[in-house]
Amino acid sequence: MNTGEQDYKQLISEVIKKQIVILGPDITLAKARNVPGLIVADDGTVTDMSGIPQEITQKLIDQFVQLSGEIVKKTMEPLLHMNQGSPAIVPTAPVAPQPVVPLPQQPTLPQEPVVESLNAAQDKTPLAPEIKPVQ
């Protein structure tokens, strides 16, 4: 096995172990073992890979994206950015839209019209002292 394949095995193992923490071992191992060419031990370690590492990686991503959408995308970022020189690997499963949560309404205070308030204030007290011309 060449160094590139060994790097993929190590990285995929790390990702599977992270998914075990998030999703639990049963779901994670079942999804990882659905990927053709990927052999995974019970602890999440990739013990063997046969095939093109990029295709195996994409199929693994697709398995997890079906379950968790955005959460998995975040944990899969190392895989998505691993091979900058090769075609980009992107999740292919659609992501459900997030619900819109309305903001709570602030209570409004009763307001009197501004013009009436200014007129009432002017009738009671002058805004500035009266100025008389100097002679």
Query: Mean pLDDT, 10 residues at a time, over the chain (135 residues)?
Result: 84 93 90 95 95 92 78 70 56 55 58 54 55 67
In 3-state terms, what secondary structure has residue 134? Answer: coil
Angle (nearest 5°) at CA 95 between 5 and 80: 25
- The number of distinct structural domains making up the chain is 1
Question: Is there a domain that residue 134 lies in?
Answer: no
Question: Is there a domain that residue 104 lies in?
Answer: no
Nearest-angstrom CA–CA distance, 84 and 95? 24
Question: Is there a domain that residue 112 lies in?
Answer: no
Q: By residue range, what is the domain housing residue 54?
A: 3-82
Question: What values do phi and psi take at 42, rounded to 5?
Answer: -65, -25
Quote the pLDDT of residue 36: 95
Question: Is there a domain that residue 18 lies in?
Answer: yes
130 Cβ neighbours under 8 A, 6+ residues apart: none
